[in-house]
Structure 1
Amino acid sequence: MNEPIPGPGLAEPSADLRTYLAVLRRRKWSILAVTAVAVASALAFSFRQTPIYTSVAKVQVKPPTVNQYLQNVPVSTLVSMDTERQIASSAKVAELAAETLGTDRSPEDLLESLSVSVPTNTQILEIGFSDPDPAAARAGAAAFTQAYLDFKVQQATEAFAAVERSLSAKIKELQQQLAVQQEKAAAAEPGSPEQVAAQAEIDVLTARIATYENRISDLGLIDLDPGEVIQPADLPTSPSSPNHVLNGGLALVVGLALGVGVAFLRERLDDRIAGRQGFEEILGAPTLAVVPHVKSWRKRDRTELPALSNPDGGPAEAYRTVRTNLLFMARDGDLKTIAVISPGPGEGKTTTAANLAVSLAQADKRVIAVSCDLRKPRLHRFFNLANDIGVTSVLTGKATLNDAILRPVGVPMLRLVASGPVPHNPSELLSSERLDQLLAQLRQVADFVIVDTAPGLTVSDGLVLAPKVDGVLVVADAGSTSRAALRQLREHLEQVSGNIIGGVFNNFDPDRARYYEAAYPAYYYGRYRYRAEEPDRRPRGRGEGEVAGPSSEEVWRSEDIWT
């Protein structure tokens, strides 16, 4: 049997930018929906919030004294703005602000409405206060500004007082030492060494006392100036919170991020086949053709034969592509019997078998199409033929093969063997040696035998046929076949030694690819049951269901069925 021709998509593709962009393009509506919900929710929440007004006052921070400020020393070495910011937002300042405001709010509650910031590389404190009432916001900012300045003055005053107390204590101690030395000098002989030493000590102590007294005097001359209000608290005219534009912008960014995440999550969870490349990766065989989606093919029960009715259309060209690939694969003559199978019903298996048979026959190949879907036979309906005699008739001995061969109208090189009456034991009939003999007989007189089978995951009929033919052609529907179903069918075919020669990717919409809005159909089990053959309402005249050949023996001896 022929080995499958390696397809371009059999190697694991590397994720690249085009792959990601393709996912985003296919899932754009999911992304837009998530983004819209996020923005709408954020704006709804934003507009329901109580408007908050913020008033800001600016204070230029100065060293504790003018004398220090006038020294030739950088201000940054005298003032730590991080420390000043912490002081402005401290509980002590909040207590002073509460007294100024005369409010019942606790200092801790007031601090929750306070914001203090320092612009980069400046000695400016920006003191802000927020409140639903604009006037209250301005009053709060002004109160904290004044409380900060008052606290700094109070802090400096206490520091200066502590220095004055320390200097006074030192002066008092020196005065006591001075009194002792004065007593020594008075008791000593004038001009004596004792008197001279005592006098020298008196001069030193007097000078030190004078120095400390001068320092105390200087403290009284210090001008306390902790800072200057360079921008008083203003009355806000528009709310600072909520910021609808900012909230909407953030929601847009977050919504887009969530939308992209949802898009890739849906991509990961989506079990449909991701185009031709995904089809080949799962099948492990090349795609022989991609049959485009045709909007007019909406009813699954409708039989479509574009290879005859619309030979210039896209589907007919796709089936000719399958023909070309099969002719190349069968060039050695060991690929004659081909089974067409799909994971489940309604995926284009029988349509592919019928059109492929016509396409091969149009290439002057002797083709016999055999309907081995014994439970729901449809192949004969594509050619307007009856189904009263067929495979089951031959396998049960009720008719000869010569009686079962039909001639479709308009395709001289095509013959058809219908399925015949629906049996009660289709799997047993297909497992019998009689089917092997039937296929061998057909193989002798035809270039190709196209066998339509039952869906592989629905019943075992198709899997029974797979090892009896030269190759298996797998058909999958781009809109309904799942990756799991296709993978399971491949495993089943490999277990029975079925030779998968390729696949047909059917009903492919280039615009929507695998992303149809319709939900997945229910799984295959239970959907494919026995159905009695419908009464044939088609007239069976000459050329429609006409018996080919005089007798079974003569058929296989002389190939007169092609004359």
Structure 2
Amino acid sequence: MELRDYLRGLRRHWLAIALMTLLGVGTAYGWSLLQTPVYEATASGVVQAKTAYENGQLFSDDSAARLKVPTLLDMAGWQEVAERAIDELGLTASLGSVAARITVENPEGTAIIRFTARANTPEEAAALAQAWIDALATTVAVVDGKDSPTEISIYSAAAATVPSTPVFPDTRTALIVGGVLGLGAGIAFALIRTASDRRVRATDDVEAKLHVPVVGTIPASAALTGTSKLLTGAADDRTSPVAEALRSLRTNLRFMDVDNPPRKIVVTSPLPGDGKSTVACNLALTLARSGEAVVLIDGDLRRPTVAINLGLPGGAGLSDVLTGRAPVVDVLQRTPHDAHLLVLAAGTIPPNPSEVLGSARMRQLLDDLAKHATLIIDAPPLLAVTDGAVLTQQADGALLVVGVGKTNYDFVEKSLDALRKVNGRALGLVLNKVPLKGGDASPYAATAYVQEYASGGSRTRSSSRAAAESA
């Protein structure tokens, strides 16, 4: 796969990526709410030598104070200091647990000792820091004694203040980390799905992978999801992306072989649900609306749908003609949609559809009808039964309708192999239900052009007519 395929995969799975990112953020936020907050307060003390008057001048031995700082740092961890702080606060916790919440440090080049305390409440953290510095000052005074000429005293230079926000958990950092992890998981999911996805996409290089030309791309449309599943021929339908795609398919069929264009065309699909019957009916209507004589034959003798799609009565049809129960001229039906279109319904469902469709009578019937009209034959799915392959052998070739985002390449390859085994000809692929937007959107610009024409074409024509009248 190329880089562009992965980029399309990211576009295709953008919703999953967004949801997993939100899930990561939400999980991080929930985790932060479940954590016990930890507040941190800091108090500082200055180590100074005792001051005295000599010959009427103030004397202070600051160098002695600085030399005492390392000793005081070690004394801050004494058990006696911890006991004094605990007694002052009236704590019930053990010495070790309380001492673990205190950090003592000396900024380089200074006589300052900084005490940092951590607790579950801001008031407790501030009180613990202040109590520890007071306990150390008391312990130093006891150890050095009052008469020591080098007595060092600790003065509280910066009293501990009550913190307003906890240092743990850091909700902002947690949300960022959760979002990044969720985004990474979403991207990984999208890339894995893209690499393992074998479904046919409109943006894939289908022709290179299957070595069969794509002769049509039918966009997804609400107009083909109703009961009739037909383009009615109204103004909106004529300028719809589906109608333009069908006209493009009609043109491709005409120029597929200029000297010997296909006259007997089977429309089939790998599996049910790809939309082959809808494509067959609308393709037949599109050919008929160009003034060409067309006969639409329902070759699905197991689950016929052509008569239902066109709103025609079922009754006698193809199977009755092949078994000699009715002449073909009596069962061909005209449709109200176009005078150039005749429909041959499936007729009575036979017990052996494959044998009926593969008979010499079927071949002769197709040859006779093809002398006067183009035949569009709706056939059953190729992988479900053998009827589609049998019909393709009787015809000039088959159009294989593939549902985009539904049918995978393995099914399409098996369908093409089924045609090759009976010496059938695959005229090309018709990609059906191609999205107009999103990661699987068709790369063809015709649909957008037709949509623009449909929305603004009438207004443009009216303006042109008004300009001509004024001139």
TM exceeds 0.5? yes
Of 427, 437, 450, 1:511 maps to 437
Of 435, 448, 462, 2:388 maps to 462
Of 235, 248, 256, 1:321 maps to 248
Q: Deviations over 1:26-59 (max 9, x none)?
A: 4343333333333334333433443332111346
Return the alpha-carbon distance in structure 2 between the equivalents of residues 360 and 465 of structure 1: 21
Aligned to 1:112: 100
Aligned to 1:166: none
Amino acid at match of 1:38: G
CA contact (8 A) 1:303 1:381 kept: no
1:131 Cα deviation after fit? 1.2
Query: Structure 1's 410 and 250: CA in aligned 2 closer, same or farther, altered over 3 A?
Result: closer
Of 171, 175, 185, 1:258 maps to 185
Of 216, 230, 238, 1:311 maps to 238
1:291 Cα deviation after fit? 2.1
Aligned to 2:283: 356
Name which one, 1 or 2, has greater alpha-carbon Rg.
1
Please tell me the root mean square deviation across aligned C-alpha atoms, in Å: 4.4
Of 324, 327, 349, 1:422 maps to 349
Query: Structure 1's 232 and 282: CA in aligned 2 closer, same or farther, altered over 3 A?
Result: same
SS at match of 2:402: strand
Q: In the TM superposition, what are the counterparts of 1:338-349 in structure 2 within 5 Å?
A: 338-349=265-276
Q: Deviations over 1:299-328 (max 9, x none)?
A: 3x4241445783333222211100111111
Q: In the TM superposition, what are the counterparts of 1:13-162 in structure 2 within 5 Å?
A: 14-16=2-4, 19-20=6-7, 22-58=8-44, 93=77, 95-101=79-85, 102=87, 105-115=93-103, 126-142=114-130
Return the alpha-carbon distance in structure 2 between the equivalents of residues 278 and 151 of structure 1: 82
- The answer to whether structure 1 residue 500 and structure 2 residue 426 are counterparts is yes
Return the alpha-carbon distance in structure 2 between the equivalents of residues 50 and 491 of structure 1: 65
SS at match of 1:343: coil
1:341 Cα deviation after fit? 0.7
Q: Deviations over 1:371-405 (max 9, x none)?
A: 21111222234555444333222322334445454
SS at match of 2:433: strand
Return the alpha-carbon distance in structure 2 between the equivalents of residues 154 and 427 of structure 1: 109
1:426 Cα deviation after fit? 0.3
The two structures have a TM-score, normalised by structure 2, of 0.72
Task: Specify which structure has the higher proportion of strand.
Answer: 2
Return the alpha-carbon distance in structure 2 between the equivalents of residues 375 and 271 of structure 1: 29
- The answer to whether structure 1 residue 436 and structure 2 residue 372 are counterparts is no
SS at match of 1:277: coil
Return the alpha-carbon distance in structure 2 between the equivalents of residues 390 and 27 of structure 1: 47
Query: Structure 1's 133 and 456: CA in aligned 2 closer, same or farther, altered over 3 A?
Result: same
Amino acid at match of 1:130: R
1:494 Cα deviation after fit? 4.3
Of 357, 377, 380, 1:451 maps to 377
Query: Structure 1's 405 and 134: CA in aligned 2 closer, same or farther, altered over 3 A?
Result: closer
Where does the alignment leave 5 or more consecutive residues of structure 2 unmatched?
Answer: 49-59, 442-471
Q: Deviations over 1:59-104 (max 9, x none)?
A: 6899xxx99969xxxx9xx99x9xx79x95x898152432322355
CA contact (8 A) 2:230 2:310 kept: no
CA contact (8 A) 2:10 2:190 kept: yes
1:125 Cα deviation after fit? 6.4
Amino acid at match of 1:37: L
Q: In the TM superposition, what are the counterparts of 1:401-420 in structure 2 within 5 Å?
A: 401-408=328-335, 411-420=338-347
SS at match of 2:212: coil
Amino acid at match of 2:282: N
> Bigger CA drift: 252-261 or 310-319?
252-261
The two structures have a TM-score, normalised by structure 1, of 0.61
SS at match of 1:35: helix
SS at match of 1:34: helix
CA contact (8 A) 1:288 1:504 kept: yes
Where does the alignment leave 5 or more consecutive residues of structure 1 unmatched?
Answer: 1-11, 158-219, 516-563
Return the alpha-carbon distance in structure 1 between the equivalents of residues 216 and 358 of structure 2: 30
Return the alpha-carbon distance in structure 1 between the equivalents of residues 96 and 420 of structure 2: 76
Amino acid at match of 1:368: V
Query: Structure 1's 245 and 408: CA in aligned 2 closer, same or farther, altered over 3 A?
Result: closer
- The answer to whether structure 1 residue 240 and structure 2 residue 163 are counterparts is no
SS at match of 1:427: helix
CA contact (8 A) 1:283 1:503 kept: no
Number of residue equivalences: 421
